[in-house]
Amino acid sequence: MELEGRGAGGVAGGPAAGPGRSPGESALLDGWLQRGVGRGAGGGEAGACRPPVRQDSDTGPDYETLPAGATVTTHMVAGAVAGILEHCVMYPIDCVKTRMQSLQPDPAARYRNVLEALWRIIRTEGLWRPMRGLNVTATGAGPAHALYFACYEKLKKTLSDVIHPGGNSHIANGAAGCVATLLHDAAMNPAEVIKQRMQMYNSPYHRVTDCVRAVWQNEGAGAFYRSYTTQLTMNVPFQAIHFMTYEFLQEHFNPQRRYNPSSHVLSGACAGAVAAAATTPLDVCKTLLNTQESLALNSNITGHITGMASAFRTVYQVGGVTAYFRGVQARVIYQIPSTAIAWSVYEFFKYLITKRQEEWWAGK
C-alpha cells in the first residue's frame, strides 16, 4: 500500500542536496536535470515525475515509494494478477459456499461441511464440476481488481493527507475501500450472476454463453445487476472492515511498510475472516438475488425477488433467522486464504514491478 508517513528512508522532497551526496548520486541527479525531469513547485510530487529513491543494498528498494508516472499502472497490473489468481485458486470452495447458502437445497445437495461437500460434488458430478464458471469469473476479476486496488491506493493517500497529514488514517482506509468497491462491483456483478447460476446443483447451464443467453432472453439485461445494490450493501461494510483491519495489523506487524510476505499473508487472512463473518447475512441475500432459487420464488408473490428488502424478507420466510447464516463456515474458510492470496500476490507484484523500474532508472 502507499506509505503515508515516510520516514528517513522515504521521499519528502526529492534527493538531499549538498556535499553529503556521493558522486554516483550527483551523476544520477545531473542526468535527470539534463533530461528536463524536475519536481513540481515547492519540491512536491504532484504533477511531477521524480527519480526513484536510492536505497542501501541491504534494504532493497522502497517499494511503497513508486515513480509518480507509473503508480496507477503498477497498482492496476498487480491488482489484476492478484484478483485472477485469488479467484482461480479458491473457486472450488466458492462453488461449495454458493450451494451451502441455498435456502431449500435438493436432498442430494445437503452437506454437513465444506470438505464433505467438495468430495461429494467431485464423486457424483465429476472432477471438473466445482470449476464450472471459472472462465467468466477470471475474465471479470482482472479488470474489477485492477480498478479496485488502483482506486483504493489513490484515495487512501489523498484522504490520509487531508485527515492525518504525514500519517496513516483508518478513516481514510475505510472510506477509500468503500469507494473502490463501487468500481469493483460494477465490473464484477454480471460475472457473479453467471457464475452462481452455473454453480448451483442441477444447473442447466454447461457453458457461459448458454447462461448469458438464457438470462438475457428470459429476464432481460437488468438481471445482471439485480443484486448490485445488495452486493454494494454487503461489500461496502465488508471492504471497510477488511481494509481497516488489514492496515491496522500492518501497523503492528510491519510498521516500516517494507515488503514482508509473512505480514501480508497474516494481515490479509485475519482481515478477510473478520469481514466475512460479519457480512454473511448480506451474502446469503445476494446469492438468492443472483440465483432466483425456485423454492424461494414460490414463496414470493411478485414472481421475481428484486431488491435487498425483498431478499431479506424471503430468506426469513423460508428459513428463519438461522437462514441468514447459511454457509458461514464455507464463507470464512473461503475468505481466509482468499484475502491472504490477494494481498500477498498484490504486494509481491507491486514490489517486483517497482524493483524493475528502479533497475531501469539506474541503468539510464
| Predicted confidence (pLDDT) per residue in 98-153, tens digit | 998 887 788 888 888 889 999 999 999 999 999 999 999 999 999 999 999 999 98
CA distances, 183 to each of 144, 309, 332 (Å): 7, 23, 24
Nearest of 262, 271, 245, 234 to residue 173 by alpha carbon: 245
Res 263: pLDDT: 92
Query: What mean pLDDT, rounded, does the chain reach?
Result: 79
User: Is residue 162 predicted with pLDDT exceeding 60?
Assistant: yes
What is the CB neighbour count within 10 angstroms for residue 45? 18
CA angle, 167 as apex, 163 and 171 as ends, to 5°?
Answer: 45
Q: What confidence category does residue 294 fall into, taking pLDDT thresholds of 50, 70 and 90?
A: low
DSSP secondary structure letter of residue 53: P
Lowest mean pLDDT segment, chosen from 70-74, 116-120, 164-168: 70-74
Angstrom distance (rounded) from CA 49 to CA 28: 14
pLDDT average, residue stretch 30-50: 42
Cβ–Cβ < 8 Å for 307, 266: no
DSSP labels, 295-321 = HHHHT-TTSS--SHHHHHHHHHHHH-G
pLDDT value of residue 67: 43
**Percentage of the chain lying above the pLDDT 70 cut:** 78
pLDDT band, very low/low/confident/very high, at 302 (cuts 50, 70, 90): low
Nearest to 79 by CA among 134, 135, 138, 141: 141
Please answer whether residues 324 and 284 qualify as being in contact, where contact means their C-beta atoms are separated by less than 8 angstroms: yes
Average pLDDT over residues 27-55: 43
pLDDT of residue 12: 39
Higher-pLDDT residue of 46, 189: 189
Helix (H) or strand (E) holding 327: none
**Model confidence pLDDT, tens digit, residues 21-37:** 455 445 544 544 444 44
Of residues 61 and 253, more confidently modeled: 253
Full-model pTM: 0.69
Report H helices in 200-257: 208-219, 228-253
